[in-house]
Amino acid sequence: MTMTGYQNRVLRIDLTNRKYSAEPLNMEFAEKYVGSKGLAIRYMYEELKPGIDALGPENKLFLTTGPLSGTPAPCSGKLSVAAKSPATGTMNDCSIGGHAGIRIKYAGYDMIIFEGALERPGYVLIDDDRVEFHDASDLWGRGSHETEGILAKQYGIEYTVLSIGPAGENLSPMSCINSDYYRQAGRGGIGAVMGSKKMKAILIRGTKGVRVPEIKKTTERMIELLQTDVLQEDNTYIYDCGTTAFLEACNDGGILPYKNFQDTTDPEWTEYNGDILLKYRKGKRGCGSCGLGCGNFLQIGEAVCEGPEYETISVAGPNAGVKDPFKIVKFNQVADDMGLDTISAGDTIIWAMEMTEKGIHDFGIRFGDADKMREYLILMARREGIGAELADGVRKASEKFGGTDFAMQVKGLEYPQYEPRGSWGMSLSYAVSDRGACHMRAYAPNVEVFEAAAPPYTAEGKGQIVYDLAEFNAIKFSLCICDLWGTIDYEIMAELLTMVTGRNWTVEEMSEVGRRVINIARAYNQREGFNRKDDTMPRRLAKDALTRGPAAGQTIPEEAFNDMLDQYYKIMGWDENGIMPQELIDTL
């Protein structure tokens, strides 16, 4: 059926032959997967043959909007950036903020697909119906920030720039894609996919519109939702504090990791907490069509960044044994410019710190050495010196040098900054997440730790908790709604989609789409050979007990972890090996 809100147009760019064409959107896919995350994965399942090299020309880069993109729907400025992951070999979909999603929609497309590879470093410019291929030999090698600055000066602010830094150029599995200087499609080596296509940057400008059935009524209702639901205190803390607000809660909650997940809580957390960091705030920013404005611009001396977000504060702070706010902000700045995911790069460096201190292998860096941490970021991005040993992430490094028990990763994607021994469901969430250890699929602490009467240190009921969270985020991110509109619910999502598409979407369908999105991602991975053996937990969590905080004494016994996995598989209708039956795959 016809749905408004979509442009019904996909731009396909053949980088090898420097050609492009537009084709209709597969509306059957859109009916079943809506947009953004879900739609991207369905296209990947269709178009990426199993077993392809994630850094080869057969991999494709999918930039996918949703039907709400480009409308005044609050918090709808996100864009899905997806490809097969060079870090894990699974599917990978990232969510980037800024303005790229809206510009793509206004250029007249629901999705842009990049195929093949350029012969020499270049950048691609998209201006409504026009696509140009430009030489980028004088940009190649430059940091993301410098690149974006040069292109912004040359083309003006009507263009959004997506770019990679040296890390993406050097095919690091920890490289990201930057936009608006400080927003990232961060994880799984998505930057390396762009780098493997020798694409330094993508510029997008759009002047068209988005059609909805009743524009006045829709706009008024969207503004009403902004004022009555989005701008309530339960969401606006993110305007006041950004994600620094998580620091105290995670420290009290017993899930703030310390020195490579050796322990939790940091008695010195007040030295770099939100109150300290936000004293240096110079300005605020939000994404397109946001309404909440989570972005904080900080400047401490010559350290500048938009952020730092909780993940970066934690990995460059207590998890590295550092407490100097200047050095945390500087780490953020360097990582962004190099085009490195702070979580993965940070986790790899702090693993190297522990390896050095334990005398297993001397990487020349110890906990607390923030200055060297930044040097190592640059060396890793450029694959030089000691950076060459660490550039491929913690799984590969630990396979070569040892220390696999405390190489904190799943499927090759490094652990976000929530300690699962303080939130057992998070170990399940990391294990079953579609792209490796990711905290954005099912954020278990929200229900297990940040909740008055929930027991964190048990396996009981965690399968259902993780499923419910994963289903909710799967549909939310397929509408390309930002994570930080926390009070949105299924009713509001169904209402927004109905208003924009002209098709009556129900709450039940929101749930069905969420479940289907989880399953299509699993089906992609299953076809690549992934199953229960890959849904893992680092050995540290079973072996080493925490000594501090509310979770002191906790480990996660293997039996408990396996119990949680069994629960989840049963809820999903997968077998005891985590395999989806063919009749379920056929429904996707």
Partner 1 sequence: MKITITLRGSLRKYLEGENERIVEVPEGCTCDEALRSIGIDYKEIKNFGFVAVNNMRVMIYAELKEGDVLKAYPRIYGG
Taking the complex as a whole, the smallest distance from the CB of residue 453 to partner 1 amounts, in Å, to: 5
**CA pseudo-torsion sign 171, 373, 433, 41:** negative
**3-state secondary structure (DSSP) of residue 143:** coil
Binding mask 335-364 for partner 1 (x = CB under 8 A): ------------------------------
Tell whether residue 455 is a contact of partner 1 (CB under 8 A): yes
**CB-based burial of residue 579 (10 Å sphere; 0-12 exposed, 13-18 middle, 19+ buried)?**
middle
DSSP-assigned letter for residue 228:
I
CA distances from 376 to 3, 313, 459 (A): 50, 17, 38
Query: How many residues are listed for the chain in this entry?
Result: 588
Q: Which is nearer to partner 1, 440 or 579 (CB)?
A: 440
114 neighbors 61 (Cβ within 8 angstroms): yes
CA distances from 464 to 460, 517, 556 (A): 9, 17, 18
Find the angle CA(199)-CA(204)-CA(208) to the nearest 5 degrees: 150
The distance of closest approach from Cβ of residue 349 to partner 1 in the complex, given in angstroms and rounded to an integer, is 21
Write down the least CB distance from residue 263 to partner 1, Å. 14
Residue pair 161/148 in contact by the 8 Å Cβ criterion: yes
- Tell me the closest approach of the beta carbon of residue 227 to partner 1, in angstroms: 16
Distance of CA 157 to the CA centre of its chain: 25
**Residue 243 lies near partner 1 (rule: CB under 8 A):** yes
Which residues ranging from 413 to 432 are in contact with partner 1 (CB under 8 A)? 416, 418
CA dihedral in degrees (368, 369, 375, 376; nearest 10)?
A: -60
Can you tell me which residue has the tokens 């408004």?
Answer: 4
**Smallest separation (angstroms) from partner 1 to the CB of 505:** 23
- Considering only 127, 128, 146, 248, the residue that binds partner 1 (CB under 8 A) is 248
Contact letters for partner 1, residues 276-315 (x by CB under 8 A): ----------------------------------xx----
CB 441 within 8 A of CB 433: yes
Size, binding site for partner 1 by CB under 8 A = 38
Question: Judged by CB, which is closer to partner 1: 234, or 575?
Answer: 234
Q: Using the rule CB under 8 A, is 246 a contact of partner 1?
A: yes
Spatial distance between the Cα atoms of 333 and 370, rounded to a whole number of angstroms: 13
Of 555 and 562, the one with the shorter C-beta distance to partner 1 is: 555
- In the complex, the smallest distance separating the C-beta of residue 486 from partner 1, rounded to whole angstroms, is 3
Are 352 and 184 in contact, with CB atoms under 8 Å apart?
A: no
Q: Which of 439, 515, 516, 532 binds partner 1 (CB under 8 A)?
A: 439
Cβ atoms of residues 484 and 78 within 8 Å: no
Measured from the CB of residue 326, what is the shortest distance to partner 1 in angstroms? Answer: 25
Position among 213, 368, 461, 486 found at the interface with partner 1 (CB under 8 A): 486
Asked if 238 is part of the footprint of partner 1 (rule: CB under 8 A), the reply reads yes
From 78-86, 193-201, 347-355, 453-461, give the range in contact with partner 1 by CB under 8 A: 453-461
The residues binding partner 1 (CB under 8 A) are 232-235, 237-238, 243, 245-246, 248-249, 251-254, 265, 310-311, 416, 418, 439-440, 443, 445-446, 449-453, 455-456, 483-484, 486-487, 549-550
